[in-house]
Each structure stands twice: as structure tokens, then as C-alpha cells.
Structure 1
Amino acid sequence: MSSGNPLALPEASTSSITLPEASTSSIQPHQTLEDSASASSIGYPPISHVAIDLFIRKKRQDLKRGKLTITDSSDNLVFRVDGKSSKSTPRPRRLLLDDSGNPIFAIFPYDGGWQVFRGESGEWKDLVFRVQRTYSSLLITELEVFLLDENWGDSTSDFKVKGCPFQRSCTIYKRNAIVAETSLLYKLRKIIVGRRRFKLTIFPGFVDHALIVALVVIFFDGRK
């Protein structure tokens, strides 16, 4: 976890966690996630050998609409999230879009968890993965992520997300490796820290940044 995070999770012992080696391979459920959108939106940047910081912002006027913007360190738009429904899919959903407004993932609440579809249709053939909440308390929330295998069934748990939504703090694991984490933007000699803007750090060797952003959106779903 980031040094600025006041809540240290006991599960994430630094003695047992290693960062993944750099790899250009991508997670493959039924179809590679790169196929769900253009390479420029899924692999941003395509390959990185250093940690990447993205900044997630929720404007005051968008609190109830579930809208988010995700920018890089130069304040360039990378992703955005819209919360809306349509005539074809009237049930609540959130759309993860690239910087040009093209839909990458549609996120639907389902049976106490979430289902994530390629694009925006919400059709079964486009289902990519599902997320289940496995633990929830006042301070700690834990999620497990199940990608679809080639037979359209769940694989074993591929990712876990653990943290404190109120503190905008979570750590994303792939097996026993940390691939990303979020934290508030703490500053020296500043006691009160705003929660409408926080940082997402993606570590080297993981190129599916849209997948990571989708998991962060799910983790903080419904939190002001």
C-alpha cells in the first residue's frame, strides 16, 4: 500500500508480495481484452517499464450521476465513466469510455456483485468477467474477479481487490502480485484531504489498464 495510506491491510504483507515481471502478454478470457477496443485505449501506454500514475476525479455536480474522468500526469484525458441507462438496456449501468468516447466496458450490478461486458450492449455473448464482493465491513471491502474461460464458465479467481472505499484506498492483486493501487493525494502540512480526486498507480508489466480502471470503478461503486 502507499506510504500515505493510514489503513494498512494485514493481507498485503510486503514479505509475500512481489511485483510482476514485465510482460507484453494480456489476460485472455474468451477473447483478449485488447480485442474489446482499440489498442490505444486498452493498452495505455502499450508497454511501460515504469509505474504509471492516473488521476481519478469526480466533480461535485456529477456525484449522483456516477460520472468520472481519468487523466494522466499531464492532465490529458485517458478514460471517462458515464453512469446511465438506455432504451435497449434500461437497467442501471456504468460505461467505461476511452478518450474519444468509444465504449470499452459496460458495468452492470448483478446478484450482489457486478457483470462486465465488452462494449455497451450488455448481451451475454459480450460478457468478459464478473466481480463478487467477498467481505465488507465499515472500513474494509474485498472483491474477487472471475474472468470467463473458453467454455463461457468462470475461471478461478484471477484478481482480488482489497481496501477501504472511504479512504479511496485499494490494492489490486493478480495472484500474489500487486498490479495496482489507489491512494488519496496527501500533502505535507495539510490535515484535510479531498476525496473527489485520487491517484491510481499501475505497476510495470500489466498492460490492460482499462481492466484495472474498471475494477477501481467497481470497488468505489456507490461511494460519494
Structure 2
Amino acid sequence: MSSLIAIIDDEPDIVELVTIHLKKAMFRVRGFSDAEGLYRFLGLSEGYRQESEAIPNLIILDLMLPDADGIDICKNLKKRDKFSSIPIIMLTAKGEETDKILGLEFGADDYVTKPFSPRELVARVKAVLRRRQTIDKSGKLNIGGILIIDTEKHEIVVEGQKIELTSTEFRILALFCTNESKVFSRYDILDYLWGDEKIVLDRTIDVHIKNLRDKLGKAGSLIKNIRGIGYKLETHHIEPA
């Protein structure tokens, strides 16, 4: 069955336009004009059961909604086990880089700034879903005796505690862990994540790695910044938490 994409935007024309292009790309689509509609569909509104067992494979989320802030919706979904792994692409009319970075810091996987090309958005959707589907399934990796990465179950454990990562953060960590001590430039990481579809800022990589280090706690010190070059993993170097 084709992937289910949920789009939340208070502009009906945008919902309709994006829906048409996604359906042409053979996706199933559910459109919502506000946060309440999405919450009812997911069973997160009081007194409402989840409409179906289907959980969106990806959410396209406008940051400016009439009844909620998109950042708050993102945070709400990411703190719930059932929905935390759903990739989120932010739609925003804001041009400031800080707004985009804020969304990424709260778990969004990508962003598209209005006005946008529907074809570009569909390409972004495909790229994000492809990143989730092509994660190396080589089993468990024990890194530095403190970090365990299970590429088959898409799980990260640090000192016995499960850590929730976004799909992009997981992909970056898997890249480092399967190429120990190799230095990756920001461009290398962008190319690995997005390939020919990369239309993002180098700064995006810095934000993802900062979030990754913060979530990994003590194990975050394994990821080293090589000034002027990029990043690498050093399994023999663990700093106190």
C-alpha cells in the first residue's frame, strides 16, 4: 500500500494543490486545516478515538496555524512513542533561518519555505521517506562500549537507556558508526542525506549534529568537530557527562 501523507495548512488552496501533486505521485493523502483536525484523526483529542489504524508515514506541517503553533504540534508528536518516529516536513512563510533551525531542533526532518514549488515538495517527501527505507540493516553495532545502534530496529541505546532520534539524526549517526574515524565534510553529509535533491543549508547539518550530541548525552562526545573540515566519530574518546 502507498505511503499516507498528512498535510496541515489553514490555506485550502495549498492543501488542495499539494494533495493533487502527492496523489499524482501515487501517495495517499489526508488534508487538515488546523491542529484539531489532525489530533482528531490521530486520536489525540479528548473524546475522540483514532479514526483508523493507519498512522501517517510523513506529516507536512505549516508552522502558522489558527489554533496552534506548528512547533508545539511537532513537540507534542515527538514526545509520544506512537508518533515520535513520523518524519515531519515544515511549511513556513517565515524567511528567517532561526525559525527553520528552531523547527529542526524540535525534531522536524526538513523544511520548505513558502512560496514553494509543489514538485520540489513532492521531491522532499520522497527523499525523506527514502532515507527511512534505506537505512543499513546490518544488525547491532557496539560503539565505544557505551553506545549501541540497532540498524534493523532503528533503535539507539546509551548506557542501557533508549534514545529517540529523528530519521535524519539516525542516518547521520549510522553514517559515522559504519565509517569510524573517517572525517565527513558538511557537503559529504548533505550529499549522503539528500543526494541530488539537496536544497538545504550547511547550517542544517550543524543543527542536526548538535541535537544528536545533546540526545546522546555522554556518548555525544564521540562525535568530534574537525575545525574547518567537518565531523567524525572517535570511539576511543569519551568525555565525562
Give the TM-score normalised by structure 2: 0.26
Which structure is higher in helix share?
2
Structure of greater Rg: 2
Which structure is higher in strand share?
1
Structure scoring higher RCO (CA < 8 A, sep ≥ 6) equals 1
